[in-house]
Structure 1
Amino acid sequence: MGDLTAAHRGYEYQDLLEACRVVDLPLGGIVAVHVDEKLVPDDRFDDLTVIGADGCRERTQFKHSDNDDHPLAYEAFTSDGRGLRLDRLVAAAVADRDGPGASARMIRLRVVMRDAPPNDAVLRTVMVPARASDVPFLAGMNTTLLRFDAEAIWQGVELPARGRRKAGNVFGFLAEGDTAVSKEDLEWLC
Structure 2
Amino acid sequence: LVGNAAMIIGPREMTRGVDLERRIFLHSYRPECDPDGSALETIMTAPLVVAQWINHQYYFSTIDQDRWGAGTKTIHNAIGTIGVLSGHSGDLKRGLPLQSVSVGNRDLHEPMRLSVLIQAPLDRIGSIISRNQVLRHLFDNNWITLTARNDHHGPWYRYSQYGWTPDPPLGETQQGD
Coarse TM-score class (shorter-chain normalised)? 0.3 to 0.5
**Greater RCO, CA 8 A, separation 6+:** 2
Q: State the TM-score, normalized to the length of structure 1.
A: 0.32
TM-score, length of structure 2 as denominator length: 0.33
